[in-house]
Amino acid sequence: MKTSSAALVAGESSEVTGLFRIAGDGRPVEALFRNTVEQAPVGIAFAKRDGSFRHCNRAFCSMLGFDAAELNNRSIANLTHAEDLESTTAGLERLWGGEVTHLDVEKRYVRKDGSALWVRVSTSLVHGGGAEAECSVEFLRDISARKEMAEALLQNQTLLAAVIAELPLALLACDVTGRVTHYNRAAVELFGIPAENTAAQARSAYPVTSRVYQLDGTTPVPPEDRPLACALRGEEVSDAEFIVVTPQGAVRTALSSARRLVGPAGQALGAVAVVQDITDRKHNEAEIKRYIAQLERAMYSTIDVIATISGMRDPYTHGHENRVAAISAAIAEEMGLEPSRIEGIRIAGYLHDLGKILVPAEILAKPTRLTPEEFNLVKLHPQASYEILKPLQFPWPLAEIARQHHERLDGSGYPQGLKDQQILLEAKILAVADTVEAMASHRPYRAGLGLEASLAEIEAGRGKLFEPLAVDACLRLFRQKGYQLPTPSTPGDQPNWARSIGVSSRRTGNESPRVVGDRG
């Protein structure tokens, strides 16, 4: 049955047609068989022993772009891609030689337009009545789409492998048993993994030969406490820092994050750790911190020099500034301002009366009340402070704070007559502190009015003259939290030059210190 069917399909029908009839109805099955072959969704080709085609179905012709007549002059060999010809020839020889009964291979045929078509070919021999095979039959399936996908996947995998290998971050991965299965070049360099050690290592034979310590550089971190092992136990590791000492003795600082790997069904696959060598970054951060510290020292030295100049002329004004600085910073902290802003307010307190160096000393120290003309001279000091500080580069608006510290919410202040939202919050805080310190302290022309009187003054001016939040914070400090008004003997009241040469900021005998905050 098989033999005559193949012969009919190949065109050799007359002498064997009678073998293919359906019992009972006498209809020949030749047409049914031929139609089955022609309409099959896969390519089917019958070929002689020399490889020339005897018959090819429509799907085969369509795959390769030839018509049936053109394929009568073609063979398996001259349609096979040059790179696959040797293996194809060898396979057919083994098939016809009886070494194998079936061939199943993937190869490339060349289309009529010259393009290559990847196909999966299954080939068998068709035997007639005798022992010799009459022809071969091969079934083709177009696998070009699958091959393209596989090639794209291979390229992606190759690219990914190259990226991981050259990644500047060290990468370590393990399976669910803790066996380290992957590590890249950066891991080899950082953790002292032997370059030839590419096989997976059990956790008991953890490939890391570098010593790993906590940030103190002395407390070892055992393998079971390192990021990869922690992630394997389900712990989330993010930005863990530790010290690595390589086999060559190099001390490195590492930053690691690790995660457990989970499959689509939620099953554990292992863990992966990414480690970054941040030694250079840490070094740069330390350098930047040192540089910033130098700049801060230079800045504070500049501030101290400026304040000292004022103090050399009138040490008592300098003491007033220091106490205002302390009170202002305390108020700002009570208000919940950020530390940097509090520091700016403190510095502004040190320098807010700097412009008084332009006011004649006899006016500042005058033991009697000032004339209107004299007071107008005193009122120039906020603008003078602004002009002195304006050219200097500070991280805070010190010049503007100094200019505004005598402004009031209702516009009755000076020198610009600003109102509420036009006034910086820092200047509003300074105004409260300046008023409290000036009224509570002794003056050349009067004794100090006392703390309660000064607190009553700002309370009475709350919302009209003074910022309510600043007033409330100041009252809480003194009345509820036990804050003490800084005294003239408080460390820091004296400028550096006075402390260095032993000058006291107090008068001799029973005289009161000269603080002139309410004269401008």
> Model confidence over 394-443: pLDDT tens digits?
889 999 999 999 999 999 999 999 999 999 999 999 999 999 998 988 77
Whether 113 and 212 map to the same domain: the answer is: no
Report the pLDDT value the prediction gives residue 493, as an integer from 0 to 100.
Answer: 43
Structure tokens that stand for 199 in this block: 């096989």
515 — pLDDT class (breaks 50, 70, 90):
very low
Whether 36 and 129 map to the same domain: the answer is: yes
In a domain, 459, yes or no: yes
Whether 254 and 316 map to the same domain: the answer is: no
Whether 299 and 256 map to the same domain: the answer is: no
Question: What is the rounded CA–CA span in Å between residue 187 and residue 189?
Answer: 5
Whether 328 and 439 map to the same domain: the answer is: yes
Whether 388 and 304 map to the same domain: the answer is: yes
Question: What is the rounded CA–CA span in Å between residue 334 and residue 345?
Answer: 13
CA dihedral 319, 321, 324, 328 (to 10 degrees): -140
Q: Is the bond leading into 415 cis (omega within 30 degrees of zero)?
A: yes
Question: What is the rounded CA–CA span in Å between residue 307 and residue 351?
Answer: 6
> Model confidence over 76-118: pLDDT tens digits?
999 999 999 999 999 999 999 999 999 999 999 999 999 999 9
Whether 411 and 492 map to the same domain: the answer is: yes
Report the pLDDT value the prediction gives residue 190, as an integer from 0 to 100.
Answer: 81
Report the pLDDT value the prediction gives residue 179, as an integer from 0 to 100.
Answer: 82
Domain C-terminal end among 111, 143, 175: 143
Structural domain of 441: 294-501
Report the pLDDT value the prediction gives residue 519, as an integer from 0 to 100.
Answer: 55
State the average pLDDT over residues 342-355: 92
Whether 210 and 304 map to the same domain: the answer is: no
Q: What percent of the chain lies above the pLDDT cut of 90?
A: 43
Whether 205 and 79 map to the same domain: the answer is: no
> Model confidence over 321-346: pLDDT tens digits?
889 999 999 999 999 999 999 999 99
Mean pLDDT lowest among 270-284, 299-313, 332-346, 483-497: 483-497
| Mean pLDDT for all residues in the chain | 82
**Predicted confidence (pLDDT) at residue 16 exceeds the cutoff of 70:** no
Transcribe 133-176 into DSSP letters: EEEEEEEEEE-HHHHHHHHHHHHHHHHHHHHHHH-SSEEEEEET
Structure tokens that stand for 123 in this block: 């080939």
Report the pLDDT value the prediction gives residue 204, as an integer from 0 to 100.
Answer: 38
Q: What percent of the chain lies above the pLDDT cut of 70?
A: 82
**Predicted confidence (pLDDT) at residue 502 exceeds the cutoff of 80:** no
Whether 180 and 313 map to the same domain: the answer is: no
27 — pLDDT class (breaks 50, 70, 90):
low
The conformation of residue 399, written as its DSSP 8-state character, comes to H
CATH number of domain containing 489: 1.10.3210.10
In a domain, 46, yes or no: yes
**Predicted confidence (pLDDT) at residue 133 exceeds the cutoff of 60:** yes
Domain count, the chain: 3
Report the pLDDT value the prediction gives residue 93, as an integer from 0 to 100.
Answer: 94
504 — pLDDT class (breaks 50, 70, 90):
very low
In a domain, 87, yes or no: yes
297 Cβ contact list (under 8 Å, min separation 6): none
Report the pLDDT value the prediction gives residue 444, as an integer from 0 to 100.
Answer: 67
> Model confidence over 142-192: pLDDT tens digits?
999 999 999 899 898 888 878 877 888 888 888 888 888 888 888 888 877
In a domain, 150, yes or no: no
Q: Could you tell me the CA-to-CA distances from 45 to 55, 57, 319 in Å, in that order?
A: 6, 6, 108
The pTM of the whole model exceeds 0.75: no
Phi, psi angles (nearest 5°) of residue 115: -80, 155
